[in-house]
Structure 1
């Protein structure tokens, strides 16, 4: 079943490491809601399958008022067939999830929260310029569970200078103790044009230590494994059967619709990207034109996309699929290019799949890039 991603481009304040598209001005929320609904209608024919997942990302979707959510859901249900058991996720921040907000969200079809906790330590949250504190990080999870939102995911970040191994172990243990069924954990990446990148360049912040990140990643794998989590994607861990439906579909190449400024979509052969500018997005949509650029994917693009996404998962890269979808030449090149990684014990070749080993997970992007293929005769 297909998925729908809706980007809500508003935040209370900017985290120092974030390079996602958002605005801290909330004055155009109503206009943005109208534009999102118009875009949904304009793209309604791009999905003919039943919708199995809807994901509100951002930005901070939990900033939207109730009437905005109701308008968007009314538009979605009018123009799409949504499965009765569809996973409907909203990204939230702990400071938004007070009792009143949770009660409002209970009235919507939302059945899953992805909560941007990042850390359970106040000094770390201040360093990141997060809007919440450690107490809110803890209580919002308990409050959500008490209100019936058991299907929760939380985000944690590792690899930043303030995070000692002891604090990292405490963060993982806290998530486990709170019985959160899904955990997304990301190594801090210093993105260009962020406040953190500028501070590091000026010597006001320490750079990221790759060895620290690697060690904390390995300890994360070990501690969550002992607790019974599947490490089902490089950055994602869950109890068996509790994998994120929406994101898993990304990694498996299932078509999805992208709505909102900076959102992207994919139908198997075409990828499209919406403009990352709120004013231009709303103006263009209001004029009856989609605010997107379209990229047609050739067979090499599709192969490389498949390798990049599948290799990150516990299911691995299916060699039968490569032969069936791309041909024997692609299979032969994949087997040849994977040999050195198998010899280094970074890849395993088992049951006609290529799967990363624990050591290989530290080099997932590099391994995938080495398996990519290019068209040697692009003029043809």
Structure 2
């Protein structure tokens, strides 16, 4: 059997093999709560398909969870700049090639490392450990899944999470690496590319950038991009209530959703249905919500929202950047807008796909990333 679990010889830290697991008592408690939880009455807003912005339909109680341990999983202890220790979980495919290129894939909310399962599957089918051109790392961000949560006496912020993700790559023995992400993962990737010389470039499938101040450049969009921008505006007008709740009443929503797996399913399941181009399989939604419940991910994970509306202005990113444009992305930034903030060396526009690109369109995203990697690693300039 092909072994993708061999840690690179130059690793400074030694991660321990890890098996994703379910605490049986926790699982029983979840199932008991589901049996006891009343489902709200059937009303117009939750029974039909034409309710517009009212969204979530009445759920059933079936439970499912993907088998995750067919991919190498690890746990590693990393210390931040203040001496705090964090346990970081990650899924990886390590190559035996001495010149393999390291790349980190970073998930968002309400996702997890599970977003990359299909992409990893494609890589395993395409390459053996002997000819895999990359070391592929998909961590659970701090507060998510099996990774440590924020300390109770610490105002955790995204810069600290990014620092820990950076130290993970260095700890695995990589002197340089690349970063890819969407949603929160796009912010992690941007921060890595901005702050750390070892990060040689980033690839994003959510490229949140404001319109250029130059009015002519701001209007440099085509009809397709204009239609996508209109959908993005509809999301900003009608779909941001959850983010406001996360950012301004973080403790309250955390306690509410931690009290009921059914409530968590409604809150998170809605996002998987609304933010995708096509509805994902029910098992995918149930597995994702189950992981959140069984690992107490909510409310540990929503700290990035407390600074979401500060919108710090990042400097222009000179490093080679890639951009995959999926039309149903919540933040469908036109190519010209992205190019005003970063050195775009690789760009692909797709006719389908939404916010969870790695889950929805893994083959397309992987092809884009593979097209970008050699350009980024060689340090190429603009298209």
Q: Which interval holds the TM-score relative to the shorter structure?
A: under 0.3
Could you state the TM-score of these two structures normalised by the residue count of structure 1?
0.27
Report which structure shows greater RCO (CA 8 Å, sep ≥6): 2
Q: Which structure's residues are more often strand, by fraction?
A: 1
